[in-house]
Amino acid sequence: MKQPSTDPTSREGAGLGGPRSRRGVDEVFGRSGSGPLSGIVIADFSRVLAGPYATMLLADMGATVIKVEGPDGDDTRTYMPPVRDGEATFFLSVNRNKHSIALDLKDPKDLEIARDLVRASDVMIENFKPGNMERLGLDYDTAAQLNPEIIYTSITGFGTGAGAHIPGYDLLVQAASGMMSLTGDQDTQPFRAGVALFDVITGLHAAIGILGALHHKDQTGEGQLVELNLLNSALSGMVNQSAAYVTGGVVPTRMGNEHPSMYPYASMQTGDGMIIIATGNDAQFARLCAALAMPEVARDPKFSKTLQRNANRDELRNMLHSRLASQSADQWFRQLSEAGLPCAPIQDVRGGIEFAERLGLEPVVLAGTGSRKIPTVRHPVAYSRTPVDYELAPPELNNSSELVRGWLQSQKALANA
């Protein structure tokens, strides 16, 4: 078994042979080298959302991500509106801290550059339709021959078996998984979530899988295949709702903003609009009733316990709405928050960003330096010793072609030395 290196400044570059300085990679590609993934190189062949979201998170953590795009670029470059200075905000949202190289993988010369990139990288990620990478000679078996230590991450929509022919679109997965049957009121049609939720969840799962494989590689020197599909990620991400059927034999249905197991845990009508109140246990319900000046309700056997509140929620809902109608949503939010009760205003996205700013969470960060600085949403994890950074703005198409090609040439020279 291969033993991990004890030298923290180098790694084994299996595909190209010989040691490769972590700091050297960071310096070549213009990173500070402070993040927890400093020195890791990721060949990103993924497109649209799930893969690019995963690789952006890893890039924020210091990894050098080389985004391989077709000659016309990632499809999301054309997803307009909305736009910022002529660029699609969709693309900008998931591609900071990356380098772009445009390659036509049907061109033998460009395909060889792609293969060189696989040889030189720690991680490869792709979300092509099953079979496409094999036809190109960039499938896992071939990649592992080029670089035995490669962590090859493959994302599909519905797996590589009987569902291989189904395109991996988030909306299809929201429909097929049952998610849409849970979204909306009982008297409405099924709705999708307002964001490509399962693309995002799959991206998170991909990042977790890559981190796990990197740890295994550090321990053993072994690469491996990491496979994900949107449908399995969806069913995992639906947690208690999928478990309701798998574990309890119950098929959940649409309940609007209400929760099947807790009440009140929903949007509630006030004097001038709606507010979210989330009551997670009996003690919180008693405190809520006290704050609403109706403590006797918490003592009523029909409402004192979670099971009884769920059974009598229609009656309880009317009582709560009647009391909440005496003040505005903002007044109740402030009053209930001061009492330490879980509640929140219902806002648009601008309101959500501004709310986070008022709380001191600094949700907006500038990605890039010099004249190209783009407002983006903050990375969700804060590290006390190895902070993330936002050094690179989302790349313009093919912006790092010469840099990547030059680095690959240097890696070849190092391997042949």
Question: What is the signed CA dihedral for 242, 246, 249, 251, rounded to 10 degrees?
Answer: 20
Rounded CA-CA distance 160/45 in Å is 18
C-alpha dist (Å) from residue 253 to 104, 175, 187, 189, 261: 46, 14, 11, 12, 12
Which DSSP symbol is given to 312? T
Catalytic residue among 44, 199, 348, 389: 199
Task: Output the furthest CA–CA distance in the chain (Å, rounded).
Answer: 83
Rounded CA-CA distance 302/315 in Å is 10
Structure tokens at 146: 């080029």
Please confirm, yes or no, whether 199 is among the known catalytic residues: yes
- Residue closest to 61 by CA, chosen among 90, 100, 26: 26
DSSP 321-383: HHHHTTS-HHHHHHHHHHTT--EEE---HHHHHHHHHHTT---EEEESSTT--EEEEPPS---
The set of catalytic residues is 199
